[in-house]
Amino acid sequence: MIITRRATVQGLGLGALLPLMPRLALGQPANLVSRPIPSSGELMPVVGLGTWITFNVGDDPVLKDECAAVLAAFFESGGRMVDSSPMYGSSQPTIGYGLRKLRYPERLFSAEKVWISDPTRGTAQIEASRAYWGVETFDLMQVHNLVSWEEHLPALFEMKASGQIRYVGITTSEGRRHREIERVMASEPIDFVQITYNILDREVEERILPLAKEKGIGVIVNRPFRQKRLIRQFEDEPLPAWLDETGALSWAQFLLKFIISHPAVTCAIPATTRVDHVRENLEAATGILPDERSRRRMVDYVEAL
Amino acid sequence: MSDWITYRLVDFLMFSPRVYYRLVERYNHDVWPLQIIFIAGGLFVLMLAVRRKNRAIAFPALAIAWAFCAWQFLWMRYAVINWPVSYAAAAFLLQAGLIVVSIRPAGAPPPAVRLYGGIGLMLLGLIAYPLLAPFAGRSIASAESFGLMPDPTATTTLGAVLALSPKPPWLLLPIPLLWCAVSGLTLWALQDPGAWVPFASIVATLALVLLSRR
């Protein structure tokens, strides 16, 4: 039996002091490639964790524990950004369950969304999300899929000014409403934009990623694997003979390294239910990243498959 | 509007097959042995249809099945992982109410094609549905039964109201038919081999209504 600090404190009759215990010190994380958030300079590891579908497990105790294990592996490997939304079913309470188990790792960067068409109910929704996570404040609050963004953004900027959140962002996915996204990026002082970008969906390279770079807006990339479909599409194909120049060891890392090697990208947020996969994803943020020439080779290679 | 045409069926799926079928397994475990009681109640309704008895006795059993399914499965469990289902729970309660207000003391027997076709649909909902899980490569623990799960409840009800109503039961058809369409599409997105069954229920119901009008 391993004697834990919790057991020792309780055994000594000092259970009341448990809340004062320092947060769980997770193992020394790997040295992950990190990029500064443009608006603040705060460093962010380039691989985060999405929760769409994967953390929507209801109240199933077995699956909740599996998600908590994914979170534990994510933080142990040095990850920071965890992203969710009120649209994701039970994902928010599942995150809260995992974070409570892990005693709220200090390196958590909480990225949430407001997703409600009635702007007067935005604050209440954010508060409900906060209660599910069990955090004091969110680091980043994004307007999900641009729903009522004209009304939500001023409220989010006020929350940022009063210290209730640290960053403000907007999101879209799968190439939708890019013109509107550009308009918001050009006219509003947002910190982050979240878009879909992967080796086959590269439309954002034309205008949105350069605009983000120009305006100093951080970029979060969702659906890096097209919800697993890219992995399934390529997993039976051989990896290129020149894999060394990408720094990848697997198809998942090949696909992730393509995304995070774009200089405008701040963080990609693949979702998974598996501990080995979350470790593999974070390992993509170690070692070398492909340069521009290798990135072009990567595109040519997968398009020829 | 142009945004909506960019969505695919799978984009609306917010949970994995594993999560859904574990939910059904845990539900079956929680409510055992109500499966047997509900199926026995459904067979009682089927017997009334076979003997061409008064539907006033049969319909309350159907209403209870819809209300229970709405409350315990759709609202308490399924809506937790699939929030649009909370609207379906309301529709199921509405269907229970519609069944109650459709109770009539007597009526002429339906045309033979609708009677026997309706009985066939009831057998599909009561007997075949619980056996689908192993055929679809799933554990029997995730079997779907009348009164507990929406698909067999809808199919059994479609069969019962066709077999027991002297005229086409227009008021009682839309909600179960709509549910079968939603469920079929969901199962299709989940790549479940049983996705064709709710569509078969729709086709059979519409065919029976049309044939019996000749």
Looking at residue B103, its pLDDT comes to 80
**Is A60's CB within 8 Å of B14's CB?**
no
Sign of CA dihedral B167, B168, B172, B176: positive
Mean pLDDT of chain A: 90
Looking at residue B214, its pLDDT comes to 60
**Is A174's CB within 8 Å of B6's CB?**
yes
Q: Which residue of B has its CA nearest to A272?
A: B16
A118 touches chain B (CB under 8 A): no
On the question of pLDDT at A12 being above 70, the answer is no
Token digits of residue A267 = 């963080």
Token digits of residue B123 = 């057998």
Provide the shortest C-alpha distance from residue A230 to chain B (in Å). Answer: 15
Calculate the alpha carbon distances from A156 to A116, A129, A288, B57 in Å.
Answer: 13, 15, 37, 58
On the question of pLDDT at B2 being above 90, the answer is no
Cβ(B56)–Cβ(B105) under 8 Å?
yes
pLDDT tens across A209-243, in order?
Answer: 999 999 999 999 999 999 888 999 999 999 999 99
**Is A56's CB within 8 Å of B6's CB?**
no
On the question of pLDDT at B12 being above 90, the answer is no
3-state secondary structure B100-154: HHCCCCCCCCCCHHHHHHHHHHHHHHHHHHHHHHHHCCCCHHHCCCCCCCHHHHH
CB pairs under 8 A between A and B: 45
On the question of pLDDT at A9 being above 50, the answer is no
On the question of pLDDT at A5 being above 60, the answer is no
**Is A177's CB within 8 Å of B23's CB?**
no
Cβ(A170)–Cβ(A178) under 8 Å?
no
Cα gap A57→B80, rounded to integer Å: 9
The single residue listed with the structure tokens 């045409």 is B5
Cβ(B61)–Cβ(B49) under 8 Å?
no
Residue A2 burial (C-beta neighbours within 10 Å; 0-12, 13-18, 19+):
exposed
Lowest mean pLDDT among A21-25, A271-275, B14-18, B201-205: A21-25
Q: Say which residues have a Cβ less than 8 Å from residue B41's Cβ, sequence separation at least 6.
A: B61, B64, B65, B146, B147
CATH number reported for the structural domain that contains residue A122 in this entry: 3.20.20.100
Residues of A in contact with B82 (CB under 8 A): 89
Provide the shortest C-alpha distance from residue B28 to chain A (in Å). Answer: 14
A55 found inside a domain = yes
pLDDT tens across B62-100, in order?
Answer: 999 999 999 999 999 999 999 999 999 999 999 999 999
Looking at residue A4, its pLDDT comes to 36
* Position B11 confidence tier, pLDDT thresholds 50, 70, 90: confident
CB-side exposure of A149: number of CA atoms within 13 Å? 23
On the question of pLDDT at B61 being above 60, the answer is yes
Calculate the alpha carbon distances from A207 to A48, A133, A182, B6, B11 in Å.
Answer: 24, 35, 8, 20, 25
On the question of pLDDT at A206 being above 90, the answer is yes
DSSP string covering B24-76, please? HHHHHHHHTTHHHHHHHHHHHHHHHHHTT--HHHHHHHHHHHHHHIIIIIIII
A35 found inside a domain = no
The single residue listed with the structure tokens 């995992």 is A98
On the question of pLDDT at A8 being above 50, the answer is no
Looking at residue A1, its pLDDT comes to 43
Residues of chain A above pLDDT 90, percent = 86
Token digits of residue A37 = 């958030």
Looking at residue A2, its pLDDT comes to 34
A contact test, residue of B1, B8, B13, B14 with most A CBs within 10 A? B14
Cα gap A250→A280, rounded to integer Å: 8
Cα gap B55→A223, rounded to integer Å: 53
Cβ(A294)–Cβ(A246) under 8 Å?
yes
A299 touches chain B (CB under 8 A): no
pLDDT tens across A234-287, in order?
Answer: 999 999 999 999 999 999 999 999 999 999 999 999 999 999 999 999 999 999
The residue range of the domain holding A67 is: 44-238+264-288
Token digits of residue B110 = 């339906």
A14 found inside a domain = no
Structural domains in chain A (count): 1
Looking at residue B53, its pLDDT comes to 67
Looking at residue A27, its pLDDT comes to 47
Cβ(A217)–Cβ(A190) under 8 Å?
yes
Closest by CA position to A227, among listed B7, B21, B85, B186: B7
The torsion angle over the Cα atoms of residues A166, A168, A174 and A178, rounded to 10 degrees, is -150
Cβ(A215)–Cβ(A208) under 8 Å?
no
Per-residue pLDDT averaged across A1-16, rounded? 42
pLDDT tens across B97-148, in order?
Answer: 999 998 876 677 888 999 999 999 999 999 999 999 998 888 999 999 999 9
pLDDT tens across A147-179, in order?
Answer: 999 999 999 999 999 999 999 999 998 878 899
A206: which DSSP letter?
Answer: T
Cβ(A130)–Cβ(A158) under 8 Å?
no
* Position B9 confidence tier, pLDDT thresholds 50, 70, 90: confident
Cα gap B62→B44, rounded to integer Å: 11
Q: Looking at per-residue confidence, does B183 or B9 come out higher?
A: B183
**Is B83's CB within 8 Å of A57's CB?**
no
Residue A216 burial (C-beta neighbours within 10 Å; 0-12, 13-18, 19+):
exposed
Q: Mapping DSSP to helix (H, G, I), strand (E, B) and coil, where does residue A44 land?
A: strand
B26 touches chain A (CB under 8 A): yes
Cα gap A91→A53, rounded to integer Å: 8
| Cβ count within 10 A of residue A231 | 16
A3 found inside a domain = no
Looking at residue B203, its pLDDT comes to 98
Token digits of residue B58 = 């049969």
The single residue listed with the structure tokens 């839309």 is B174
Per-residue pLDDT averaged across A94-100, rounded? 98
B22 touches chain A (CB under 8 A): yes
Cβ(B105)–Cβ(B164) under 8 Å?
no
What are the residue ranges spanned by the domains of chain B? 16-212
Q: Which residue of A has its CA nearest to B19?
A: A57
Cβ(A153)–Cβ(A143) under 8 Å?
yes
Provide the shortest C-alpha distance from residue A163 to chain B (in Å). Answer: 31
**Is B26's CB within 8 Å of A53's CB?**
no
pLDDT tens across B32-59, in order?
Answer: 999 999 999 999 989 888 887 667 788 8
| Cβ count within 10 A of residue B69 | 29
Calculate the alpha carbon distances from A201 to A112, A230, B44, B46, B199 in Å.
Answer: 24, 11, 57, 54, 34
A300 found inside a domain = no
* Position A30 confidence tier, pLDDT thresholds 50, 70, 90: low
Residues of A in contact with B23 (CB under 8 A): 58, 60
Per-residue pLDDT averaged across A17-32, rounded? 52
**Is A56's CB within 8 Å of B13's CB?**
no
A115 touches chain B (CB under 8 A): no
Looking at residue B10, its pLDDT comes to 82
Looking at residue A283, its pLDDT comes to 96
ipTM entry: 0.89
Closest by CA position to B160, among listed B64, B23, B25, B36: B64
Looking at residue A173, its pLDDT comes to 86
